[in-house]
Each structure stands twice: as C-alpha cells, then as structure tokens.
Structure 1
C-alpha cells in the first residue's frame, strides 16, 4: 500500500527537519571580524540561552548595526518554533513539480500568496512576504546533520509586493558551520551582493566560541 502525503504533511516534515538549537542550549560568546570594502572591524558577540544577543567592543555604528543584524539572523534561524506556532493559521496545497523533483507548496489562510518548494525533505525555495517586500530564497547547498539540515549556500532577491518588480540586486550567501560543544555554530559567512553588474563581498568570521 502506498501512503500519499498531503501538502501540509510534506511541508511539515521538511519544516521539522530544519536544524535548531534545543532547550538545553547554553548560549555562547565569540569574537567577530567583519571585513567589507570599508575596512576590517572587530567586536565581541554574545548569544544567550534565551537567544537574546548583544554586541560590544565596537564603536563604528554602521559596522555594529551590520554585526547585530547577523546575530539576529543566526538566532532567528536556530529558534525551535513549533509548526503550529509558525504555520497554524495557514493552509497548504500542491503546486507544480520541477524536473529535479522539487514540489511546490502553495499557502492559503493567513499566509496567502506565500509559497515554498520541498525537495528531499528540505525547504529548497521560499517566496513570502516580509515587511513591505516579498523575498525569494533559493537554497543550493545544504549540510545534513543527524539533527536536521542547515542551508550552506543560498541567495535572496526582494520584490515589490504590488508590482512584483525586483527591488535591488541579488545577494548570495555561503555559510560554514562547525560542531562545537555538541551544537552546530556558524563560524564564517561570505555575502556577495550583485547589483548593476558589480559585486561587493562582505565576510563575517565568528571565532573563539565559548559556551556560557
């Protein structure tokens, strides 16, 4: 007998297969180095057990804001929200199927208009409204762990929600994770911003990871 998954079951399985930090996560401190066309900046960072975070030891406000944004990105993707909390007000249906086996998941309900693609029990594409924009994220490379998957290579493009016209250029991310103290931690992120035929590279190095 062949069991056929519903769109919600397929998407839930991929959602719950993401790597997140568990309730015993102790938090950690680290040294952060930001390298961009403006220069090299260093700071201290702390992610606490409750996933609140702080940046210290840096005076340049633009660099501090950029580093703070990275800690926000780290924590928002490692928090273990239940499927019900994130998607309980949504409905799901199947869309198109790609040649590589990716299956499109169309969202109704509270998230109407959003859509995803699922491939090999991972979310390989995201198209959803964020603030006053729509963001499209394609994932090209993943790290499979025994506790879920992590996206290692992906890009993002923003669109106007009304006209669907692209806003700005394409941003490409390449992440490196290391298992430290029983947890996978982001240790390096390379961001390439492409706009008007030009590329700008920004790198973040997270080192001297010490758990609280």
Structure 2
C-alpha cells in the first residue's frame, strides 16, 4: 500500500506541476500561417473561454481540419482538470527506475491503457494504446512559466499494437509566449517521418489577442 501511495503521489505532483489555464481564461484569437514545403496556408484561429475551438478562412479544407485538430490538442494540454476527476479511479504502482532518475508509473483503471514515467516533477513519458494505434510520447525539454511547466520539445512514436511495427514518428518544437496573464502557443514546428519520407510543417500564430471576459 505504501508503494501505491508513493506512486500516486509522484504522479500527482508531476500532473499538478503542468501549466494550465485557470477558470478566468478569456480565450483568444490569432492569425495563423501554415507552411509545408512550397505550400503556404493562412487563416484565423479562435479558442473561446469555454475552450471551444474555431478555425476559419483557411482555403484548403484538409488543412483547416488539421489545424482544428492541432488546436484541440492545445486545449487538451492547457485545460485544467482536477487530479481526482482525471485520475481518481486509477491505481498507480511503481515500475522501473532508470539511471537518469526517470520513474515508471504503471496505471490500472485507465480507459486508454496509459502508463507514464516521471522525472524532476515532470511527466517524462506517456504510453497509450487507443484501438488499433499505440503511441509513446517522450518529453525532452520544457518551459518554466512560474506557474508550472510546458513541454516545449517532445517526440511521438506510433506503432501497430499487435505487430509493434512503427507506423509514424513525429518531433515537435513548441514556442509559448506570455500574452497578458496567459501563456499561448505562438509557433509549432513538426517533423513527420512516415514511409521513408520526412515532412516539415511550420505553424506560426501572430496578432494574438485575448478575448474580453464576458460581462456578468
């Protein structure tokens, strides 16, 4: 029981050390430019105070859908969800401790089959199986905001969970900047390695403006 409590406390400390937007987050709007090879796409993105996402004025529908998915990912990581609500029903046990100090945390009761590693009060690795796709995310570097950390350099490896064959590998470099009282994504560089090809996607956000809080 003591080991379970230790595993839970270690993971909880890392989980609660992540930077998230508070309940007063007003949302924001920004211009977006996506560059991929010779292609350049522009438009606008909006995250509302309720964390709903809108992407508009992007001529290419596939690119618009991709940007929408990317902004939903941003919301997922910045949304504040209390630990007990997110993980209260899960059971945590200690796994291996590697020489770097990364402690494996094995989770039971998680719908997505998640396991983690934590190091220096940060989540260093996330491993999940979702249907016909398994993935591992490695956290490499972070931005310290004074109110928690933001993962700024990380990679993802996607595999077939039955054969363990690598399907796709991705590397991310995220830049967050303070806008008013909140840190907001202003650039993301993604390198996607798939079927022997590497695609570089550079997404930049400009003219970022916080929305005005709704009148009470």
Range of TM-score over shorter length: over 0.9
Q: Distance in 2 between matches of 1:112 and 1:52?
A: 23
- Give the superposition deviation at 1:87: 1.3
Question: Is 1:90–1:112's contact at 8 Å kept on the other side of the alignment?
Answer: no
- Give the superposition deviation at 1:129: 2.1
How many residue pairs get matched? Answer: 208
1:199 aligns with 2:198: yes
Q: Distance in 2 between matches of 1:118 and 1:185?
A: 24
Instruction: Please give the secondary structure, in 2, of the residue aligned with 1:13.
Output: helix
1:119 aligns with 2:144: no
- Give the superposition deviation at 1:164: 3.0
Distance change (3 Å), C-alpha of 1:113 and 1:28: closer
- Give the superposition deviation at 1:20: 0.3
Question: Is 1:106–1:113's contact at 8 Å kept on the other side of the alignment?
Answer: no
- Following TM superposition, the consecutive aligned residue runs of length 4 or more in structure 1 with deviations greater than 4 angstroms are none
TM-score (norm 2): 0.91
Q: Distance in 1 between matches of 2:24 and 2:55?
A: 23
Counterpart position of 1:14: 14
Counterpart position of 1:164: 164
1:92 aligns with 2:80: no
Counterpart position of 1:183: 182
Gaps of 5+ in 2: 212-216
- Give the superposition deviation at 1:75: 0.8
Q: Distance in 2 between matches of 1:79 and 1:199?
A: 31
Deviations 1:116-171 (A, max 9, x none): 100000000000123431210001111112110000000001122333332x2210
With 54-63 and 104-113 compared, the bigger mean Cα shift is at: 104-113
TM-score (norm 1): 0.93
Counterpart position of 2:109: 109
Instruction: Please give the secondary structure, in 2, of the residue aligned with 1:40.
Output: strand
Q: Distance in 1 between matches of 2:36 and 2:194?
A: 16
Gaps of 5+ in 1: none
CA RMSD of aligned residues (A): 1.7
Distance change (3 Å), C-alpha of 1:103 and 1:81: same
Question: Is 2:173–2:190's contact at 8 Å kept on the other side of the alignment?
Answer: yes
